[in-house]
Amino acid sequence: MAFIPSTHASGTRPHHFAFAAMTSLFFIWGFITALNDILIPHLKAAFSLSYTQAMLVQFCFFGAYFIVSPLAGKLIERIGYIRGIITGLCTIALGCALFYPAAEVAQYGLFLLGLFILAAGITILQVSANPYVAILGPQRTAASRLNLAQAINSAGHTLAPLFGAALIFGAVQADALVAKAVQLPYLLLAGVMLVTALGFCFLKLPVIEPETEQSLSLDDSIWRQRHLVLGAMAIFLYVGAEVSIGSFLVNYFGQAHIGGMSEHQAAQMVSYYWGGAMIGRFVGAALTRYIAPVYVLAFNALMAILLLLITVNATGNLAIWSVLAVGFFNSIMFPTIFTLAIRGLGPLTGRGSGLLCQAIVGGAILPVLQGVAADSASVQLSFLVPMVAYLYIGWYALFGATPLKVERRAEVGV
């Protein structure tokens, strides 16, 4: 294992408490991320935006991951995981607070700036919390811990739209008040972030320190860690595939030979896709305690490939439920890839985490590629694009996830 808790944090109970504290962070960024689905149509109506202009919300969000992640990794090396978490929470609070003046002056650009700062805070939070959870205990159960934390993240995704619908759309009484409807909910979020940051200042959590014997040092390059670099590509493709599939479901279910559904009906069906991911993460948290994570990851990738092949060649309910079931098998992919990719990095863990979070930018790119395929062929055939992503993920699980030093030991029989 690359890191160990310091001596004052020995014992299992502090680890359980620390894990519970970390899961609150996973809920927070899942909750705020899902609010984008409410924010996009709201700002589109408030500023009479085109669809392209409205999508700048997602562009700024994913752009923050790409720009801030490597900087966040270096920040964590300097200040540590706990201070990184506090910094991330305060940055989120600043981004949320900027929504108030943005609504007062009715400037879309100021909203985008606030969103970028907010997303930068979430990026710092992810770069801190993901590796902290992964190394907070035995390496063999790291994927299980991260899967359980990601399940709590999915719960945040589920509840956020209800919050946004009630406090944003429910607050709109006249056109003049549309832009200001976001002020109260985002000020509430800013307050919650500051209170949470204050709480982490006083919590006595295990301090993660390097082991005395390290095969890697800060002078080493993360680009020489083959399993990390290949894992970053796996994260890029996974996030891209997950977002891409979800983005096309409404249009797909509306086609006559698939479901012939209205947009409202199709949107309700999409909840099964994300709900499956939440259930799958709880299941995956249990499975990865007893089955090697690489085999669980390879199996899930294979199932996603088979389900997409079915939906591409089927019609009606079979096509609908096969693509929705992909959500269940998506569930364990991000946390499992993440834990495999940072394994054995030692003091480079923070930098490696930054690279993996930077790869989340795949969520902004693969949907465009699937869109090109849909325009060139059909929406149904366009699902072959994410299928290629799952082929790579399956290969990574079986052949790309082993650190080179482990492979070399195996070759010499050590």
DSSP string, 58-99: HHHHHHHHHHHHHHHHHHHHHH-HHHHHHHHHHHHHHHHHTH
| pLDDT number for residue 132 | 84
Domain 222-412: give its CATH superfamily: MFS general substrate transporter like domains (1.20.1250.20)
Distance CA 252, CA 271 (A): 15
| pLDDT number for residue 78 | 87
Residues 6+ apart with CB under 8 A from 247: 367, 370
| pLDDT number for residue 198 | 94
| pLDDT number for residue 107 | 87
Angle, to 10 degrees, between the axis of helix 108-134 and the axis of helix 56-79? 40
Domain ranges of the chain: 3-206, 222-412
CB count, 10 Å around CB of 215?
11
Q: What is the DSSP letter of 291?
A: S
Dihedral of alpha carbons 323, 327, 333, 334, sign:
positive
Query: Closest Cα to residue 60, out of 19, 102, 28?
Result: 102
Question: Is 109 buried (19+), middle (13-18) or exposed (0-12) by CB count in 10 A?
Answer: exposed
Summary count for the chain: helices (H), strands (E): 18, 2
> Tokens 């699902």 — which residue?
383
From residue 414, how far is each of 131, 281, 294, 322, 407 by CA, in Å?
28, 35, 21, 45, 10
Q: What is the three-class DSSP state of 271?
A: helix
Residues 6+ apart with CB under 8 A from 120: 64, 67, 68, 91, 95
| pLDDT number for residue 389 | 97
Give yes or no on whether 3-206 and 222-412 have one common fold.
yes
250, 263 Cβ separation under 8 angstroms: yes
93, 190 Cβ separation under 8 angstroms: yes
Distance CA 211, CA 139 (A): 14
Dihedral of alpha carbons 215, 128, 328, 240, sign:
negative
| pLDDT number for residue 399 | 94
Residues in the chain where the model's pLDDT stays below 50: 1-13, 173-177, 210-213, 408, 410-414
The count of residues in the chain is 414
| pLDDT number for residue 203 | 84
Distance CA 403, CA 244 (A): 30
Rg (CA), the chain: 21
Distance CA 206, CA 12 (A): 11
| pLDDT number for residue 171 | 55
Please tell me the CATH code under which domain 3-206 is placed: 1.20.1250.20
